[in-house]
Amino acid sequence: MLDERSKKVLYAVIQCYINTPGPVGSRVVTKKYHFGLSPATIRNIMSDLEEMGYLSQPHTSAGRIPTDSGYRFYVDSLSAEKQLVNNVLTAELNKKFELIKKDINSFLDDASKMLSELSHYIGITMSPNTGMTTLRKIELLKYRDNRLAVILFTDEGIIQNRIVPVVPDISQRELNRIAEYINSRFKGRSLDEIKRLILKEMTKEKVLCDSLISEAIRICRNAFSAAPGNIYISGLSEVLRLPEFCDINRIRELLQTLEAKHIIVNLLDNIADSEGTQVLIGAENILDEMRQFSLVAATYKEGSRPMGTIAIIGPRRMNYLETISIVDSTAQFITKLLS
């Protein structure tokens, strides 16, 4: 459908445009890439590419800029070269992350900074939604008179604590029994699952009226409400260097979106379902405010279960090859760390 020569011209235009924004004309293409063709021929080809929807003209008698479909075509043809860059990056990542004894949250904070440093775009990392993590062990510790600290140990190495109100006269021994009960029944299940099971249990056993069990259920109900995953965003200042961010209103829109973190969390959660590294180019984004940007996202896993998502947001005129590689190998790197 697209002959080899046209492809080469398309890629050339895209690469030119990525390097220096602003419409790219037929002359620069002939100068930078030696196809052995004259500007006139290139013009004809570019005209064809425009008809096919891969290029567009901001105004008559200006050069061409890639459309979203143009980028898409380019990105889809990239997978082959990707692996190559990946290997180089992975080596670099290993160097950067020598000291990782930290907990996962501050680790992800650093990771988002690293994403933005490497790419010069916006780096985003999300910690696993705790509802997905599996319980290894629960501990109940009396804290103040009417307060209980619930410590959840998960298989993923995440430790969480919640403070739960509790009847004042319960003893530590009773708490231990409750913890034991929970451990034996729910170990190895995800927190979300446990919460569901607990709710079922409630209706069943309330006839029993065992005050200890009912207190246990009450505690669990409070404790297993999943904490929303944290999200870390870095590189905002980085991205303001780019010429596409000369419009204040566009910046504000983006910032507004990024500040409403739950929106981003949702966005990335949806992506998390699909395999591999996802690329959303411009208008492919569901969010209106993101239409001017592209998003590259991947999930990191623990074993085979997806845990969290990392992503990079940049201009549509993004260095896709590099960015995809960075996201890809960082996700793989985190996955390896978690196992």
Using DSSP's 3-state secondary structure scheme, residue 49 falls into: helix
Give the nearer residue to a copy of itself in terms of CB position, either 244 or 284. Answer: 244
Give the nearer residue to a copy of itself in terms of CB position, either 11 or 143. Answer: 143
The item of a copy of itself, DNA, none sharing an interface with residue 151, based on CB under 5 to 8 Å by kind, is: a copy of itself
Give the nearer residue to a copy of itself in terms of CB position, either 141 or 202. Answer: 141
- What number of H helices and E strands is found in the chain? 13, 10
Q: % helix / strand / coil in the chain, to the nearest 5? A: 55, 20, 25
Cβ–Cβ < 8 Å for 82, 328:
yes
**According to CB under 7 A, which one of 34, 59, 200, 204 is a site residue for DNA?**
59
Q: What is the rounded CA–CA span in Å between residue 148 and residue 168?
A: 9
Q: 252-291: which residues touch a copy of itself (CB under 8 A)? A: 252-253, 255-256, 259
Q: How far is the CB of 247 from DNA (least distance, A)?
A: 13
Which two three-digit tokens encode residue 63? 């050069």
* Contacts of 135-140 spanning 24+ positions with Cβ under 8 A: 135/186, 135/187, 135/188, 135/189, 135/190, 135/191, 135/194, 136/187, 136/188, 137/183, 137/187, 138/179, 138/182, 138/183, 138/186, 138/223, 139/179, 140/175, 140/176, 140/178, 140/179, 140/219
**Considering the rule CB under 7 A, would residue 20 count as an interface residue with DNA?**
no
Neighbours of 213 (CB within 10 A): 17
**Considering the rule CB under 8 A, would residue 234 count as an interface residue with a copy of itself?**
yes
Instruction: Using the rule CB under 8 A, give the single segment among 185-193, 240-248, 300-308, 312-320 that binds a copy of itself.
Output: 240-248
Q: How far is the CB of 243 from DNA (least distance, A)?
A: 11
**According to CB under 7 A, which one of 7, 43, 177, 185 is a site residue for DNA?**
43
Report which secondary-structure segment, H or E, holds 55: strand 55-56
Letters for 145-164 (x = contact with a copy of itself by CB under 8 A, - = none) are ----x-x-x---x-x-xxx-
Give the nearer residue to a copy of itself in terms of CB position, either 15 or 160. Answer: 160
Burial class (CB in 10 A: 0-12, 13-18, 19+), 238: middle
Cβ–Cβ < 8 Å for 300, 229:
no
Give the nearer residue to DNA in terms of CB position, either 10 or 272. Answer: 10
- Cα atoms in the Cβ-side hemisphere of radius 13 Å centred on 288: 2
**Considering the rule CB under 7 A, would residue 163 count as an interface residue with DNA?**
no
**According to CB under 7 A, which one of 6, 15, 47, 86 is a site residue for DNA?**
47
**Considering the rule CB under 7 A, would residue 41 count as an interface residue with DNA?**
yes
**Considering the rule CB under 7 A, would residue 79 count as an interface residue with DNA?**
no
**Considering the rule CB under 7 A, would residue 70 count as an interface residue with DNA?**
no
Burial class (CB in 10 A: 0-12, 13-18, 19+), 112: buried
The item of a copy of itself, DNA, none sharing an interface with residue 162, based on CB under 5 to 8 Å by kind, is: a copy of itself
**Considering the rule CB under 7 A, would residue 56 count as an interface residue with DNA?**
no
- Cα atoms in the Cβ-side hemisphere of radius 13 Å centred on 57: 14
Residue count at the site for DNA (CB under 7 A)? Answer: 24
**Considering the rule CB under 8 A, would residue 112 count as an interface residue with a copy of itself?**
no
**Considering the rule CB under 7 A, would residue 57 count as an interface residue with DNA?**
yes
- The residue with tokens 């990946």 is 86
**Considering the rule CB under 8 A, would residue 99 count as an interface residue with a copy of itself?**
no
**According to CB under 8 A, which one of 61, 171, 184, 237 is a site residue for a copy of itself?**
237
Q: How far is the CB of 294 from DNA (least distance, A)?
A: 23
Taking alpha carbons only, the member of 330, 252, 246, 317 closest to residue 289 is 252
**Considering the rule CB under 8 A, would residue 83 count as an interface residue with a copy of itself?**
no
